[in-house]
Amino acid sequence: MDEIDDSVYIEFFKAHPCLWNPLDPGYLKDDLRRNALQRILIQTKSPVTDNNVSALKKRFSSWITGYTNELKKVNQDPLKAYTPAWDKYNSLDAFLNPLLILQRKIPTRPANSKVTAKRSRPSQGASHSSSDRKTPRKKKKLNPSTAATPETVYARFGQYIATTLDVFNHDDAATAVEEIQAVIAKYVMKG
């Protein structure tokens, strides 16, 4: 297993989003993740043993940790002069960056800028006032003038979708766009 170049494993890792993408339906299914690891071992002609599956899982996990640490350094450098020297960074960045930004695991501001949000704590006690009960919220009207800014989770999700679509061939991307538009139209019509 060690004699195969890491770039080969990274490509197989990228091809199995259930191993790295929490938005993938198989991400929370241990049996699917294990099957993906076994398929990678088979594709690399490595013996499919419990030890090799565990070693591959550990390797991928360490890459995600290493990538996350490097990306934090890149994003926290106010001069944007930091260049990762880690040889796997660019390969992993191609598909992990949009996902980690979407999940807010990586700060998008320099470390020295502070943003605090104040939230009131719910009252603790046996009695519940009418303000403690959840009331239906009014739906906001769709307003193009309040477009998503880069600071919103939806804008980051849109960037993730765009990056993902760029990887697809033209026909698959066009089909995916139509399906995404149909889902959005469904919720717009609902409101």
Q: What is the pLDDT of residue 127?
A: 44
Query: Domain residue spans in the chain?
Result: 1-109, 150-191
CB of 111 closer than 8 Å to CB of 92: no
Q: What is the pLDDT of residue 188?
A: 66
pTM of the model: 0.52
Distances in Å between the Cα of 65 and the Cα atoms of 58, 88, 94, 117, 151 are: 11, 12, 16, 28, 24
- Two tokens, residue 84: 């990762």
Q: What is the pLDDT of residue 155?
A: 67
Q: What is the pLDDT of residue 52?
A: 94
pLDDT along the chain (191 residues), means of 10: 82 93 89 95 93 95 92 84 90 85 51 36 43 52 48 67 79 80 71 65
Q: What is the pLDDT of residue 62?
A: 95
Nearest CA among 3, 95, 88 for reference residue 44: 3
- Two tokens, residue 40: 């990678």
In this structure, the number of other CB atoms found within 10 A of the CB of residue 37 comes to 24
